[in-house]
Structure 1
Amino acid sequence: MKNLCWVRQLDANEIYIIEEVAAIDQATENQRSTVGLGFWKPFIAVASRPDIMKRLFFGCMLFFWQNGSGINAINYYSPTIFESIGVSTGNIGLTTGIFGVVKCIMTVVWLLCLVDQLGRRKLLLIGGITGSVCMWIIGAYICVVEPQDHPRSSLNGGGIAAIFFFYLWTAVYTPTWNGTPWVVNSELFDPNIRSLAQAATTSNNWLWNFLVSRFTKQMFATMGYGVYFFFAALSLGAFVFTFFLIPETKGVPLEVMDRLFKTKPVWNAHKQLMSQLRIDEEQFRVNIKGSGLTNTNQKSEPEHVENGRRKLPQI
């Protein structure tokens, strides 16, 4: 209580502190009664709960689709990528450098402007469909022109268009599938098994990362332009997967994540749940005021739910 009051800069009898402590107490008692305390308890709990296993599968699949977009193939083999498009050896360093700059800029944009404004689900959907279109176009250009078999000293119009769509893919992928799966996975699981689930999904990410980086060179050697079609198909699969299975998690408390995944349809689950949570919060405040536990002398109470998001008092 003392630490919470210091962090929030509020007195112990403020309604927000009472509300937050009540949520923490409820989560702790829920873990004690459902999972139990101890190192092995979360493993046993995950194995015995199909709903958690389902969400764990979703979290792992997000990293499968992330690596299936081709990002690590490009990260590790960018000279090979640009050479396949037709970039001359002398310009590969420049094009690779621009690729890194675009990623850096769009990461900052994602952090400051997009992830909390557009939400996680919309970003994943936009990234999936746009990334697929870009990869289909790049693959089609290489298939028709065969730039490696017909080298040029400079790019023609089609080559410039292919490079444009490559950078467009980078600009769209970075603020969508690059970091958003990490955010979603941090929000999918209730506190009872969150640390175990995070470890499992992170390990899964590095498994796919290893497989992509290990076999990218062989894929280009045997598939040629088909590698781009392969990544395009996986990006389209990522769009379908997200649309039908991943609800919006923005602003949803970890303690009620089970309710989110039980709400149907998936594409409207967030709106329905946040509406219900606002009703529940108002009822909680009414009950607290009636019990006399809160400070009734305060002139006004801060709003804690705004547009579906919990708003904390400023420190």
Structure 2
Amino acid sequence: MISSAARIELAQPGAGDGEDRLSSRLRRDVARTEPSRIRAGAESDRWKSVVEEPRDRCRFSDGIGYFKDRVYPPRSSTPIYYEHVSPRPLPYIYLFLSTTPPQLIFSSSFVVCSSTMAGSGGGVDDKHIDYPGKMTVFVFLACLVASSGGLIFGYDIGISGGVTSMDPFLKKFFPSVYAKEQEVVDTNQYCKFDSVLLTLFTSSLYLAALVASLFAGHITKACGRKASMLGGGCIFLVGAILNAFAVNVAMLIIGRICLGIGVGFTNQSVPLYLSEMAPAKMRGMLNISFQLMITIGILSANLINYFTAKIAGGWGWRLGLGLAAVPAVIMVGGSLFLPDTPNSLVARGKDDEARAMLRRIRGTADVGLEFDDLVAASKATRAVESPWRTLMQRRYRPQLAMAFLIPVLQQLTGINVVMFYAPVLFKTIGFGGTASLVSAVITGLVNMVATFVSIATVDRLGRRKLLLQGGTQMILAQFVLGTLIAIKFGTSGVADISRPYAIGVVICICVFVSAFAWSWGPLGWLIPSEIFPLEIRSAAQSAVVVFNMTFTFIIAQIFLMLLCRLKFGLFYFFGAWEVVMTIFVYFFLPETKGIPIEEMDRIWANHWYWKRFVQDHNSKVEMTSSAV
């Protein structure tokens, strides 16, 4: 690293463009303090100084400021970091690195309050770079419109299960399945709904979304977040129309594929859009609005299923599938008026528009510090030829691990198992033939209400606390639920449950669903969207969606079969995974609350485990620079 003695205070920089020739005293000081890097007789007159006033935005009460310098070696987009302490902000900071010939390289200086680790998980202190700005009405409305992308995903999740339980729908498209259910009486509750064909129809959307995600990242990067959301909404709208007027299975499947493509694009672009538009201190709340919209979409679909199932004539399923066009129209119409994010504008070379947009969304003209960081990140992005190959590099191992583990662990919470089994339990407390639809409405309502808890607390309590507390609550609910089912149903799946007993089981289900709704549900989308540097952000978010949709598809395909074979043991199976994921969060997930996206890299450099990957890379860069 560059020693502190290589930072020399001068009276004033040269006039004009901010460059001046170094004085002989300065050259002597640098040569004396950096003998291993500076050769005698080097062409020091070619050295140039880039002078920048550091911004002292963050101070401790004792007046000591913690400064962090970001140094870019020649021909490298990867910075070297140097941290030092000063009782006052230095008026000018000069940073040097030996090259051939030796020259002063570009540096940006900014203030950080602390890089101290906090907690077992390696969170960082709350003191960090604080960009100026505030929450504006413009940002709130933009994020509200963008988050409507969650409506299309949530609506499909809610509508598909209800439609596939309607007899007219089964008679038209899956007559063999309908005949089987009418002819075979199976009293084993564990195996009652084990139908691979219907499960494949439902989960095919996730397969289409998976494939679409592979292309969505490139389009989002090249054309912007807004264009990706607009395109996804249009394709979803086409799918809704095809499904509403479907006359055969082929038309129905094509419609499902269009829905999946739309979901793949919006799930990739919306979380990025929300994270980049939101101020750092309110990023969690605004980003979780995406998950809130998903829950609203699920609840709306469940209510529509309940009423359309009662329509005489057997065409209620068409109305349910066709109403998917409503959230699609909201998404498309809203996207037409949305601004693009400053990050995306900078990445596409529109710096003037980006600066103007940054001033508008932050509500202040003092955006120089944040804009400079965006430009620096964009330069790093342009130096990356293959974002996917770059994502596989060792220095991005922490982000890659999170891109894989968080969506996978989110699916291994077992939320699908609980949502599936709820109808059988609700039927025992007097809801009769409409039990499945009523139970879906109740669990959907709990899911939506609990999401508000996450919105209200995520930026105050942080991500780790919510995940740890939610994980603990899910573990308890899952094991208690499994035990209650085991006592009454045993391995045969046949039982006569009393009303008080069934109410207790239903309460366990609601406790589990609420825990998921304010922890792993929304944070499973929030955390991946905020941890990636700009140069790999689009590719990494695509990877998140790919992993999420892959395991959603796998779990949706096999969980009915596992329930039939493992019986009540399946609840213990997922409960064990919840223990694993809670331990993982405690030890390996750092806190990201309130940290600007462009400075998120420091949480990995300071983490007890992940720092070995980041520091190894920085050490190699330093050694390479020293050898030049």
TM-score, scaled relative to structure 1: 0.73
User: Are positions 1:167 and 2:510 aligned together?
Assistant: yes
Correspondence for 1:21: 371
1:200-211 aligned at under 5 Å gives the runs: 200-211=543-554
Q: Deviation digits for residues 88-112 of structure 1, max 9, x if unmatched? A: 671443333211111111123322x
Identity of aligned residues (%): 25
Alignment of 1:147-186 (within 5 A): 148-152=493-497, 154-157=498-501, 159-186=502-529
Work out which structure has the larger RCO, using CA pairs closer than 8 Å and 6 or more positions apart in sequence. Answer: 1
What amino acid sits opposite 1:70 in the alignment? G
The structure-2 alpha-carbon separation of the partners of 1:246 and 1:20, relative to structure 1 and needing over 3 Å to count, comes to same
Distance 1:51 1:81, change over 3 A: farther
The equivalent position to 1:134 in structure 2, one of 477, 501, 509, is 477
With over 3 angstroms needed to count, the CA separation of the structure-2 counterparts of 1:74 and 1:2, relative to structure 1, is same
Which of the pair has more CA radius of gyration? Answer: 2
Distance 2:477 2:558 in 1: 22
Residue 63 (str. 1) matches residue 404 (str. 2): no
Cα distance per residue 1:64-113 (max 9 Å; x no partner): 111111113344xx2x44426883671443333211111111123322x0
In structure 1, the gaps of 5 or more residues are: 270-315
Matches within 5 A, 1:1-315: 1-11=355-365, 16-32=366-382, 36-37=383-384, 40-47=385-392, 49-75=393-419, 78=420, 80-83=421-424, 87=428, 90=432, 91-111=435-455, 113-146=456-489, 148-152=493-497, 154-157=498-501, 159-265=502-608
Is the 2:482–2:568 contact (alpha carbons within 8 Å) kept by the matching residues of 1?
yes
Structure 2 Cα separation of the partners of residues 31 and 25 of structure 1: 10
**CA 1:194/1:163 → structure 2, altered by over 3 Å: closer, same or farther?**
same
Q: How far apart, CA to CA, are the structure 2 residues paired with 1:253 and 1:214?
A: 39
Distance verdict in 2 for CA 1:86–1:221, change over 3 Å: farther
Instruction: Provide closer, same or farther for how the CA distance between residues 171 and 5 of structure 1 changes in structure 2, counting only shifts above 3 A.
Output: closer
Distance 1:7 1:165, change over 3 A: closer
Partner Cα distance (1:235, 1:219) in 2: 17
Paired residue type of 2:465: K
Whole-angstrom CA distance in 1 between matches of 2:361 and 2:520 = 33
Assess, with a 3 A threshold, how the Cα gap between structure 1 residues 43 and 26 changes in structure 2: closer, same or farther: same
What displacement does 1:114 show?
A: 2.1
CA contact (8 A) 2:590 2:607 kept: no
Q: CA RMSD in A?
A: 2.4
Judge conservation of contact 1:73–1:213 (CA < 8 Å) in 2: no
CA change 1:8–1:203 in 2 (3 A) is same
Classify 1:8/1:138 alpha carbon distance in 2 versus 1 (closer, same or farther; 3 Å).
closer
Letter in 2 for 1:173: F
Q: 1:246 to 1:69 in 2, by over 3 A?
A: same
Kept after mapping to 2: 8 A contact 1:99/1:167: yes
Deviations 1:215-252 (A, max 9, x none): 11111111110011011111111101111110111111
Q: Does the 8 Å CA contact 1:73/1:212 hold for their aligned counterparts?
A: no
Shift of 1:9: 4.1
Between the aligned partners of 1:128 and 1:109, the Cα distance in structure 2 is 15
Cα displacement (A) at 1:214: 0.5
1:293 aligned partner: none
| Contact 1:127/1:172 (<8 A) preserved | yes
Amino acid at match of 2:556: S
Alpha-carbon spacing, 1:260–1:139, altered in 2? closer, same or farther (3 Å): same
Is the Cα–Cα contact under 8 Å of residues 422 and 439 in structure 2 kept in the other structure? no
Residue 442 of structure 2 aligns with an amino acid whose one-letter code is: I
The verdict on how the C-alpha distance between 1:150 and 1:164 changes in structure 2, with shifts beyond 3 A counting, is same
The C-alpha deviation readout for 1:95-149, integer Å capped at 9, x for no partner, is: 33211111111123322x0222221111111111110111000111111222742
How far off is 1:8 after superposition?
A: 3.6
Amino acid in the other structure paired with 1:227: L
* Letter matched to residue 28 of structure 1: S
1:269-308 Cα distance to aligned partner (Å, 9 max, x none): 9xxxxxxxxxxxxxxxxxxxxxxxxxxxxxxxxxxxxxxx
Matched residue, 1:296: none
User: Would the alpha carbon gap of residues 61 and 7 (structure 1) be closer, same or farther in structure 2, given more than 3 Å must change?
Assistant: closer
Contact kept, 8 Å, 1:86 with 1:151, in 2: the verdict is no
TM-score by length of 2: 0.38
Provide the residue aligned with 1:275 in structure 2: none
Q: CA deviation at 1:162?
A: 2.0
Distance 1:95 1:25, change over 3 A: closer
CA distance change for structure 1 residues 57 and 151 in 2, over 3 Å: closer, same or farther? same
CA distance in 1, matches of 2:380, 2:582: 35
CA–CA separation in structure 2 for the residues paired with 1:10 and 1:94: 49
Cα distance in 2 between the residues matched to 1:264 and 1:5 = 33
**Cα distance in 2, alignment partners of residues 253 and 121 from structure 1:** 17
How many residue pairs get aligned? The number is: 252
Seen in structure 2, the aligned counterparts of structure 1 residues 223 and 85 have a Cα distance that, compared at 3 Å, is farther
In 1: Cα distance, 2:401 partner to 2:551 partner: 14
Unaligned stretches of 5+ in structure 2? 1-354, 612-628
One-letter code aligned to 2:468: L
